[in-house]
Structure 1
Amino acid sequence: MHFRIVPERSLVACPGKNWPCESTFDAFRLFWCTCLSILTLMVCAQPVAAQFRLEKHAEGVRVFNDGTLVADYLTKSMSKPIIWPLVGPTGKQMTRAYPMVADSENEKHDHPHHRSLWFTHGDVNGTDFWLEGGEGGITEHLEFTQLEDGEQAVLATRNLWKTAAGEPVLSDHRRFTFGGDNHARWLDCEIVLTATHGPVNFGDTKEGTFGLRIAESMKVDHEDGGKIINSHGDEDSKAWGVAAEWVDYVGPVDGETLGIAIFCHPSTFHFPNRWHVRTYGLFAANPFGVHHFLNQKDPTAGVDLPAGEKLLFRYRVLLHTGNTEEAKVAELYGDYAKTEFPDLD
């Protein structure tokens, strides 16, 4: 058994060898080298964070997630800006194509003013912005105020609400933030309404306000049967008109169970909003409607917004896989409700 002195290293005998094992030093060096190699492999194996990219075009701005189209913000679809299509985490469109596709197949061609995703109201100073054509109001796109790519995409706009005769009623500033992971995509929608052209009254009507028209196959009335559930556990038609923190609409899309949940943020005006959510596929948060939902004969006086004042609305649209429980909708809402957002205006 042989030994030799190695400065600043511990020595251990190596039977059958003519030199010692410098075990403490070499073992630690081998250990840390191995750990570094494993860590490097783990880091390299992790998926790269999803990247969103915005692309302007003549009609608006397309949103891409890792090169795949997930949404298109259209500045004018009949009488208002909309977002269509809206593509879920498995690559399937989750809102109705009609009337943007006039001859769409396997869809009910009703309510042509239900255009994928939109924000309007049925009585604003006496003008109906919910319906289209005739004396209905028009929401005119003015400008994009922010277009930002990255791990999230941010798109912000300014718009002017006008009567059919072109008289200005109010202005809005909207910010849409797109994000996602392997199980869900989400869209944070923030809207500030400002009484820039005098006082505004928002009438008490069920026809409003932050609206979606879900994919035809997801609706409760479809032969395969979708499901509506809110934060109180009310299901299907029982969720209509109920004030709730969130509502989830789940159903089949091309052989998969998918869902669209809308979260109402605590900072939203008249939180929690009532929900104009129907078994035929309409899905809307309504902060102004009362008497229809409560089955009262006469409408209330509505909501008055003095000249120069603002109203704030914040919603998250969560496009998820699986049912409400599998997607952990209630838990995700809890996280969203704690989120703080930078000021929009």
Structure 2
Amino acid sequence: MRILTLPLLLLSAATAAAQLPSAKPIPRGQAVPLPHHITSFQLDGREITAMHFDPQDMRPFWHPMRASRDVSLTRMGHPHDPLTHSHHNSVWVTHNTVNGIDFWGDYAKKQGRIVNVEVSREGYEDTDEFASMRMVNHWLNEEDKAVQLIEVRRTEVRPLDGAKSWLMIIDLEFTPPKGQTTTFGATGFGLVAARMAKSIGVHDGGGRILNSEGQVNEKDVFRKPARWCDYSGRITNDADGFGGITLMNHPMNPHNPTAFHVRDDGWMGCCLSLDTPVEVTEEKKLRVRYALWTHDGVTTQEQSEAQWKAFTAMPVVNLNPPKPVKK
């Protein structure tokens, strides 16, 4: 039997462009919605992090956190206690005591859950400079589903040197339900935290903690005030297989410079209210801003300080821009 075949028509780039003169360039940075409540943040088509916001989870979180290599600088859960530390969700936002309710752990007597209720209609931005996502979350009492806080969150991923060096900027605004006051209690647990990869931890991998004051590792860094804290270590066995994350506090946040709760076992957190509670009312909303600088290599104090200065010099975004007027 004779099979007839048609010649393949391979169009040159110039011919294809001529056929579609209206085709726009693809932005380098994209926030791509995926199934199962995931948004993938991509640079040139490669995922460097992703927002997970399944309502069945206890809280939204970002995972993985990749630099130039296809290995995450963070992990899910404590390497030696995955059950009772199941709340260590890579990079996450939460707090140990909000109106006496525990949003930090997963098995509290008074348990809280952070549930996504909206991804804004204009919530995604894709550009060559950054990709972003805006969402609204409710902080709920698990027992009666009563709302304790309304949170607006914007995630912006901004490459600085490709995937070798990039910022994830986290903007948050908290408002209580109408007519109520919500209190973030005094605790070292919350508001932004990262569970580093096992190989980066000081205890397991021989990594290094460094803060803005030049202090090194848990003994000197634990709960000390600082502008930023970096956790760096080995991620592959290549000669240059190192990377890390610098967690940055913004001067607009309460109690700046804030305490950093950091352990040699591989986790670090930026404290909102270590010794002093923070009250939130309708008239006095809580507006905070953080960043995580994900980088190849082991950073120096000067390098992390320079990134912190650049971050704090950026304009603060408006989380509630006016809606466009319909014509």
TM-score category, normalised to shorter length: 0.7 to 0.9
Correspondence for 1:15: none
Correspondence for 1:275: 260
Paired with 2:76 and 2:99, the residues of 1 have a C-alpha distance of: 31
Contact 2:31 2:39 in 1 (8 A): no
Once the two structures are superposed, residues 183-215 of structure 1 have per-residue CA deviations (whole angstroms, 9 ceiling, x without a partner) of: 312201111111224101111112222111011
Correspondence for 1:133: 107
Report whether the alignment pairs 1:220 with 2:205. no
Contact 1:89 1:319 in 2 (8 A): no
Paired with 1:142 and 1:187, the residues of 2 have a C-alpha distance of: 22
User: Deviation of residue 330 (structure 1)?
Assistant: 1.3
Paired with 1:327 and 1:147, the residues of 2 have a C-alpha distance of: 34
Give, as a single letter, the amino acid of the residue that structure 2 aligns with 1:225: G
Once the two structures are superposed, residues 70-106 of structure 1 have per-residue CA deviations (whole angstroms, 9 ceiling, x without a partner) of: 222111363111111222233321111348xxxxxxx
Q: Against the structure 1 CA distance between its residues 49 and 257, is the aligned structure 2 distance closer, same or farther, given a 3 Å change threshold?
A: farther
Give, as a single letter, the amino acid of the residue that structure 2 aligns with 1:86: M
Once the two structures are superposed, residues 294-343 of structure 1 have per-residue CA deviations (whole angstroms, 9 ceiling, x without a partner) of: xxxxxx5x222234431111111111112222981111211112111221
Report whether the alignment pairs 1:114 with 2:88. yes
Give, as a single letter, the amino acid of the residue that structure 2 aligns with 1:127: I
Report whether the alignment pairs 1:192 with 2:173. yes
> Which residue of the other structure, out of 178, 188, 212, is the alignment partner of 2:157?
178
3-state SS in 2 of match to 1:121:
coil
Paired with 2:102 and 2:93, the residues of 1 have a C-alpha distance of: 13
Correspondence for 1:232: 213
Paired with 1:184 and 1:49, the residues of 2 have a C-alpha distance of: 18
Give, as a single letter, the amino acid of the residue that structure 2 aligns with 1:339: M
Give, as a single letter, the amino acid of the residue that structure 1 aligns with 2:103: F
Correspondence for 1:33: none
Contact 2:210 2:301 in 1 (8 A): no
Report whether the alignment pairs 1:155 with 2:133. yes
Contact 1:108 1:216 in 2 (8 A): no
Once the two structures are superposed, residues 25-60 of structure 1 have per-residue CA deviations (whole angstroms, 9 ceiling, x without a partner) of: xxxxxxxxxxxxxxxxxxxxxxx9843342332222
The aligned length equals: 280
Correspondence for 1:35: none
Correspondence for 1:318: 293
> Which residue of the other structure, out of 181, 184, 209, is the alignment partner of 1:202?
184
> Which residue of the other structure, out of 26, 29, 34, is the alignment partner of 1:51?
29
* Percent identity (aligned): 25
Paired with 1:313 and 1:216, the residues of 2 have a C-alpha distance of: 29
Contact 1:175 1:344 in 2 (8 A): yes
Contact 1:79 1:133 in 2 (8 A): no
3-state SS in 2 of match to 1:331:
helix
Once the two structures are superposed, residues 112-163 of structure 1 have per-residue CA deviations (whole angstroms, 9 ceiling, x without a partner) of: 1111111111111010100113531011101112111122111111011111
Contact 2:31 2:132 in 1 (8 A): no
Paired with 1:303 and 1:342, the residues of 2 have a C-alpha distance of: 22
Paired with 1:83 and 1:327, the residues of 2 have a C-alpha distance of: 27
Q: Against the structure 1 CA distance between its residues 109 and 67, is the aligned structure 2 distance closer, same or farther, given a 3 Å change threshold?
A: farther
Q: When the two structures are superposed, what TM-score results if normalisation uses the length of structure 1? A: 0.76
Paired with 1:327 and 1:83, the residues of 2 have a C-alpha distance of: 27
Q: Against the structure 1 CA distance between its residues 245 and 187, is the aligned structure 2 distance closer, same or farther, given a 3 Å change threshold?
A: same
Q: When the two structures are superposed, what TM-score results if normalisation uses the length of structure 2? A: 0.80
Paired with 2:177 and 2:34, the residues of 1 have a C-alpha distance of: 28
Q: Which structure has the larger Rg over C-alpha atoms?
A: 1
Structure 2 gaps, min length 5? 1-25, 321-327
Structural mapping, 1:8-47, within 5 Å: none
Report whether the alignment pairs 1:289 with 2:274. yes
Paired with 1:186 and 1:54, the residues of 2 have a C-alpha distance of: 18
Contact 2:76 2:195 in 1 (8 A): no
User: Deviation of residue 233 (structure 1)?
Assistant: 0.6
Once the two structures are superposed, residues 157-194 of structure 1 have per-residue CA deviations (whole angstroms, 9 ceiling, x without a partner) of: 10111111211111100000012123312201111111
Paired with 1:49 and 1:343, the residues of 2 have a C-alpha distance of: 23
Correspondence for 2:325: none
3-state SS in 1 of match to 2:307:
helix
3-state SS in 2 of match to 1:259:
strand
Contact 1:74 1:81 in 2 (8 A): yes
Contact 1:53 1:150 in 2 (8 A): no
Moved over 4 A (4+): none
3-state SS in 1 of match to 2:224:
coil
> Which residue of the other structure, out of 74, 92, 116, is the alignment partner of 2:71?
92
